[in-house]
Amino acid sequence: MPNVFSSLPEKREGVFANEDALKPEFIPDALPGRENELTQIALALRPLAESAGAKGRNLFVFGPPGSGKTASTRRALKDLNEYSDKAWCFYVNCWQYATRHAVFSQLAFLAEEPLPRRGLAADEVFERFAGAVRTSKKNAVVVLDEFDRLLQAGNDKLLYDLARAKELSGANFTEILISNDADLLSKLDARARSSLQPATIEFKQYSPTQLKEILLERAAAAFHENVLSKEALALCAACGAKAGGDARVALQALYDAGRNAEQRGARFVELVDAKKAVLEQEVMSASKEKRLTGLTRLEESTLSVLREAGKPLESGELYSLLEGVASERSLRECLNLLQLKKLVVLEEKGSVTGERGRTRLIKLA
């Protein structure tokens, strides 16, 4: 049997010039509809570019999903780095780094501060990071995206650590929190909230017109010239508008439309490709909604605990949090059913010699 790769048909030039331009982490040259918000972020950070030892205004950036919060903030950081060598910008997504220790470890990594393999306590890791910033003599700004993930188990204490760093370590930090939750500040630990004292910037959902402008801007970078039909772009924008003005939904639909065109060997992205992309998104959304209907009270409680935890839980941790709600046997059966419904993922962990039973890691699908 011949090598499967050598037997593939010859690759033709596709419709994409740079498909990364449609991905969430892409930082665009223009941000249609977010010029005012970008200016507000820049004004808050401007002191960092002016003199050593300066501090900007702490910010709380909030708004619905796909409203441009992350893209605008990251664009401001990019421009600040290009404008001045006095600032040092750090961005951490708390969905990926969901504990105080994990955030500090990632900040140390971004600062190229080596950490010993034996492991360090969170306070020690932060001292290493703060020391690197102090030595650099730069003004640091730390962006914590999806910060609501850190509200569990006192992880928001790190805001207090950052605020006191000037006093204890000689390092100065400006903080930017990003969240979908407009009420996030009221949920912070009292000391953390008092130390932060941020200005707030609200991002409203995009209008249909703004979504079309965003897609036009990104499409110019993502596709070869004259391959995308106006009808396909308009349908993808409408998909995002239907999802509550969510630009990420619209961009994903446009990306999928391009992929659909390439799969059928076409040189142009037509309305049929966009229709298929939008239909697939609707099917996936409807499928999840259907799986969430008709849940038992125990299934709802289990999913609620996992959402509140904001991270994967070991089976023992989950049983402890649901103690008194159901027996371990009932919970095991519940988890197996939730896995069949594709609402949770169960992963076996390596067993410890002499330990009874199995340990599983449980996370939301």
Q: CATH number, domain at 233? A: 1.10.8.60
> Which residues form the domain of 342?
297-364
pLDDT of residue 266: 92
Q: Is residue 41 part of a domain?
A: yes
pLDDT of residue 292: 67
Q: Is residue 13 part of a domain?
A: no
In this structure, are residues 278 and 235 in contact, taking their beta carbons and an 8 Å threshold? yes
At residue 71, the 3 state secondary structure works out as helix
190 and 86 in a single domain? The answer is: yes
Q: Is residue 21 part of a domain?
A: no
Domain boundary among 184, 202, 220: 202
In this structure, are residues 292 and 300 in contact, taking their beta carbons and an 8 Å threshold? no
Q: Is residue 303 part of a domain?
A: yes
Burial (CB < 10 A; 0-12, 13-18, 19+), residue 174, is: buried
Q: Is residue 1 part of a domain?
A: no
125 and 239 in a single domain? The answer is: no
Q: The CATH number of the domain where 163 resides is what?
A: 3.40.50.300
159 and 240 in a single domain? The answer is: no
The contacts of residue 123 (CB under 8 Å, 6+ apart) are 161
Q: The CATH number of the domain where 313 resides is what?
A: 1.10.10.10
Q: Tokens for 238?
A: 């409408």
Number of domains observed in the structure of the chain: 3
Nearest to 322 by CA among 341, 339, 353, 299: 299
190 and 218 in a single domain? The answer is: no
- Sheet of 139-145: strands edge to edge? 87-93, 139-145, 173-179, 59-62, 199-202
Whose tokens are 């703004």? That residue is 210
42 and 189 in a single domain? The answer is: yes
120 and 243 in a single domain? The answer is: no
252 and 164 in a single domain? The answer is: no
Quick count: other Cβ atoms within 10 Å of Cβ 346?
14
pLDDT of residue 12: 66
Domain boundary among 291, 308, 343: 291
pLDDT of residue 286: 61
Nearest to 240 by CA among 271, 187, 185, 282: 282
Whose tokens are 């040259």? That residue is 29
Q: How far apart are CA 260 and CA 262, in angstroms?
A: 5
In this structure, are residues 242 and 275 in contact, taking their beta carbons and an 8 Å threshold? no
pLDDT in tens, the chain (365 residues): 678 887 776 666 789 999 999 998 899 989 999 999 999 999 999 999 998 889 999 999 999 999 999 999 999 999 999 999 999 999 999 888 888 999 999 999 999 999 887 778 999 999 999 999 999 999 999 999 999 888 866 788 899 999 989 888 889 999 999 999 999 999 898 888 888 999 999 999 999 999 999 999 999 999 999 999 999 999 999 999 999 999 999 999 999 999 999 999 999 999 999 999 999 887 776 656 656 667 888 888 888 888 877 778 888 888 888 877 788 888 888 898 888 878 888 887 654 444 445 678 898 87
105 and 157 in a single domain? The answer is: yes
Q: Is residue 174 part of a domain?
A: yes
Q: Tokens for 276?
A: 């298929």
323 and 250 in a single domain? The answer is: no
51 and 165 in a single domain? The answer is: yes
Q: Torsions phi, psi of 352, nearest 5?
A: -100, 135
188 and 70 in a single domain? The answer is: yes
- Long-range CB contact pairs, 279-283, < 8 A, 24+: 280/256, 281/239, 281/249, 281/252, 281/253, 281/256
C-alpha 102, offset from chain centre: 15
Amino acid at 5: F
181 and 268 in a single domain? The answer is: no
Q: Is residue 15 part of a domain?
A: no
C-alpha 226, offset from chain centre: 32
pLDDT of residue 9: 65
Q: Is residue 322 part of a domain?
A: yes
Within 13 Å of residue 177, how many CA atoms lie on the same side as its CB? 26
Domain boundary among 245, 268, 291: 291
